[in-house]
Structure 1
Amino acid sequence: MTKTSTSQCRGPSLGFPLDIGSERYTFSFTIRDSTTHFVNATSWGSEDYIRSLSDSFRLGECVIIENPLIQTKELEREEKFSPATPSDYKLLLSENHSTVKLCSSYEVDAKLLSLIYLPVKESCDYYSLGDIVVNGHSLDGKIINVLAAVRSVGEPKYFTTSDRRKGQRCEVKLYDETESSFAMICWDSESILLAQSWVPQETVIFAADVRISFDKFRNSMIATVISKTIITTNPDTPEANILLNFIRENKVMNPLDDEIDNYLKESMNLNTIVDVYTVEQLKVKALKNEGKADPFYGILYAYISTLNIDDETTKVVRNRCSGCGYIVNEASSACTTCNKDSSEFKSVFPSFDMLIDLTDHTGTLHSCSLTGSVAEETLGCTVVEFLAMTDEQKTALKWQFLLERSKIYLKLSMSHRARGGLRVSVLSCKLADPVEASRSLSGQGKVQN
């Protein structure tokens, strides 16, 4: 059987052992060739074959599948983890007998490409973000559809689990006419790659079958992309066009200007920051920007010269309001901004909130803000883990970073409340690659004057 189809969604299932003494890997995706017909396809094979197949095409590209095995699907078991399809069958691809080939441009039918913009669910079958927030706990754990605009896309975050498996996550902020900011979390590489292509405040998505849950840390509802989810970017539907007109007419101005907005949002895409500075160059640029409201961003190769995480007289962790993100007065343990009405009491949570100094061969930036998840990633521990450490452990942790050259992404903005009139926020701080740092500092990188 040979068939040309549009790859609409792919699952994240790469790699797990099946037989004693050997490993087989699996890869799943969903294909579509009409407005009403789409099926799931699964391939099994060696690691090299599966990874090669996975890398051979991307979402939205057209493929030709040869010699698949057609099987009746087990509805209850399979559709629990795979996209729900109208067909009673599925395709099974084997390493030895089946092939998947990317269509050349002259082989692609224009009608197939248009399917990329049609959701796999009815265009009116979705929850508004406001509905999700209002329904709250009643939707916890439910699988629903969402139509929303993209407000911001965070940088992918990489981590290693306790059993040494590597993973990644990316947070996308959504909004619509009913809600200004709503988090959607992507965990698999394919959805994260797709999210990185979205242009904030210009992109609308229809996310079919996302899981809604209550996040205790945020004290709010969130959406999670799962293996059942199929996302359509800029869908060609009346409802999506209405939302697109709304976001064009109501663009959020300078969404990164506010300090608290920065704290609550996922960090901006660091790939967009490419200018390398020295401390001296940053200070000169700040003087030139005096009086300007817009922040500027840069990369600094420097040492952390002050990191008082083992000093009991220095406050490293503070409570923040789960509603607005402001630091809460320890004496009252209540947010004066959100809790004016006792019936709407907002909980608080502990968060890193510290000031560090950054030094290179040209000078020092004092009192740079290192907070929240960025601080957790920098230190390599959560707030809870940090609070459980002894003083000796905190000192040992500090010396892992002091006088070690780091690659630091910064946001700098003028503020009369900040030391020297300049607020410096750390967006990312990781130990620098020596070769990369040397090349940049010697003038071979993209250094700004």
Structure 2
Amino acid sequence: MAAQSYIAISELHPNFSHPKVAGIIIGKTDVKSFPDRKNIGTDRFTFGFTIKDSPDFFINVTAWGNDGYVNGLSSSFSIGDCVTIENPLVANKDPEKGDRFCPTTPGLYRLLVTEAHSQVRLCADVYTIEQLLPLIHLPVKDSRDFYSLGDIEVNGQRLDGTVINILAAVKSIGEPKQFTTSDGRKGQRLEVKLFDDSVSSFPLICWDREAIQLVQTLIPKETVLFIADAKISFDNFRSGMAATVNSKTIITVNPDTREASLLFSYAKEVSESGALDQDEKPEDVPVDSIIDVYTVSQLKQKAQESPEVFFGITYSFISKLDLDSSVSKVIKTRCSRCKFQVSEDAESCTNQLCPGRDQALSATTGFDLLVDFTDHTGTLPACTLRSPVAEKTLGCTADEFTSLTDDERTAMKWKFLLERCKIYVKILPSTKMRTGIRGMIVDCSLADPGEVKQHMSALL
């Protein structure tokens, strides 16, 4: 550290009097309160944060005090800020007690700050700030020591309950959900979907306000995370693995490492190819569990009010269905690994960043249509209709379709075009679409006139 008045974290020792430390905040926990055993009827407040002052050294800091001091201090800085700490108590770590719940640090000590003895301020020294800022992009663990999302899924329940490091890109960020526990405490939960070149969607759950605030600033599909010490568990509700951010976890945003740089390039490529959007499986929920009926304008309105994915039924006319254009526009071949469109005779995937591009091509061929549907309130353009849903809707396989004559294809098109259909649709936010949303058809069939009359009269 340039300014000689600061003591390096690596040199801290309990014998120092009035130490002064500078560092960048790489982790922070929510404020908690405990009944004060000395003053019955009052609470003591505490929160923790972790500061780093060199590539290899970082230390945990705990603040204790009354409500006003601790909440005031906590709200005065965030992850990514540079701070100076004057006169903290340098204490030995206690692995049996509090340190079990803090990030794992390389040194022997931790810092304690209190209102009476210590001062924590935002760093004002430009030179020090410039030295500290790059450290926010260095993971706190070996940059090669991580699980891919594919590794986690392959190891499955053997990892249940373990704490591991993950390198992954951000696919989407949900909305925070508020709740109240049975004993009246308020809480919140936010889910981030991660992806990498082995898995297209994997849940990361955040419960802490600090973690939620951090992830809400990230840009989906343009951010890579190194998540040190994420808790892995088997999620019964999803019947799959999920990762959770806890008080030990430190998230490094866009790490300055070779592995992260490769993943960042992959994320950019698949995002631009649209493969990530295509990867949203229409069978996310059973079709018979979708019961909400919408007009087209209600679908658009709901999508604008909330960026969450949702499902619905619409009784609409199919107003565009290009079954009689060239077969190559109706039936497409995609790489099974990265969903990139490839030519049928390709021997390997042409996507430079496909995880299996050095291997023989594993591809699937099927219907890949863009359909418009319209009702009395408007049109939702360019909705995806793909196999196997398309095969069920059209009553014909992709192979059978290729052997139909032009007249037979036109006849199939008019069986649906301008007919009222019962369309089950999944609505996704999409930055690529002019409307800002995209529909995926999950199920579609000609509608029963009596059913239409009953539902449409309720919607009018």
| TM-score, structure 2 normalization | 0.59
1:141 matched to 2:166? The reply is no
Residues 176 and 263 from structure 1, CA distance in 2 versus in 1: closer, same or farther, beyond 3 angstroms?
farther
Residues 2 and 270 from structure 1, CA distance in 2 versus in 1: closer, same or farther, beyond 3 angstroms?
farther
What is the aligned counterpart of 2:29 among 5, 8, 11? 11
Letter in 1 for 2:62: T
Structure 1: segments with no counterpart, 5+ residues: 274-282, 295-325, 327-366, 372-409, 421-449
Residues 285 and 4 from structure 1, CA distance in 2 versus in 1: closer, same or farther, beyond 3 angstroms?
farther
Residues 101 and 271 from structure 1, CA distance in 2 versus in 1: closer, same or farther, beyond 3 angstroms?
farther
Q: For 2:266, what is the secondary structure of its paired residue?
A: helix
Q: How many positions carry a matched residue from both structures? A: 301
1:58 matched to 2:78? The reply is yes
Shift of 1:180: 1.3
User: Counterpart of 2:408?
Assistant: none
User: Counterpart of 1:289?
Assistant: 379
User: Residue deviations 1:165-187, cap 9 Å, x none?
Assistant: 00001111111111111111100
What is the aligned counterpart of 2:191 among 152, 155, 171? 171
User: Counterpart of 2:104?
Assistant: 84
User: Counterpart of 1:196?
Assistant: 216
What is the aligned counterpart of 2:239 among 215, 219, 224? 219
Shift of 1:157: 0.6
Shift of 1:109: 2.8
Contact 2:425 2:440 in 1 (8 A): no
Distance 1:109 1:24 in 2: 32
1:241 matched to 2:264? The reply is no
Contact 1:153 1:269 in 2 (8 A): no
Letter in 2 for 1:15: S
Shift of 1:369: 9.2
User: Counterpart of 2:349?
Assistant: none
Q: For 1:15, what is the secondary structure of its paired residue?
A: strand
Q: Percentage identity across aligned positions?
A: 46
User: Counterpart of 1:302?
Assistant: none
Letter in 2 for 1:254: D
User: Residue deviations 1:162-218, cap 9 Å, x none?
Assistant: 000000011111111111111111000011111111111111000000111111111
Distance 2:69 2:154 in 1: 47
Distance 2:376 2:254 in 1: 39
Distance 1:158 1:168 in 2: 4
Q: Cα RMSD (Å) of the superposition? A: 3.4
Letter in 2 for 1:11: T
Shift of 1:2: 2.0
1:112 matched to 2:135? The reply is no
Shift of 1:160: 0.1
What is the aligned counterpart of 1:156 among 172, 176, 189? 176
Residues 291 and 90 from structure 1, CA distance in 2 versus in 1: closer, same or farther, beyond 3 angstroms?
closer
Distance 1:47 1:263 in 2: 48
User: Counterpart of 2:277?
Assistant: 254
Q: For 1:4, what is the secondary structure of its paired residue?
A: strand
Residues 268 and 248 from structure 1, CA distance in 2 versus in 1: closer, same or farther, beyond 3 angstroms?
farther
Distance 2:304 2:124 in 1: 32
Q: For 2:101, what is the secondary structure of its paired residue?
A: coil
Distance 2:224 2:286 in 1: 24
- 1:286-365 equivalence runs, <5 A: 287-293=377-383
Residues 290 and 143 from structure 1, CA distance in 2 versus in 1: closer, same or farther, beyond 3 angstroms?
closer
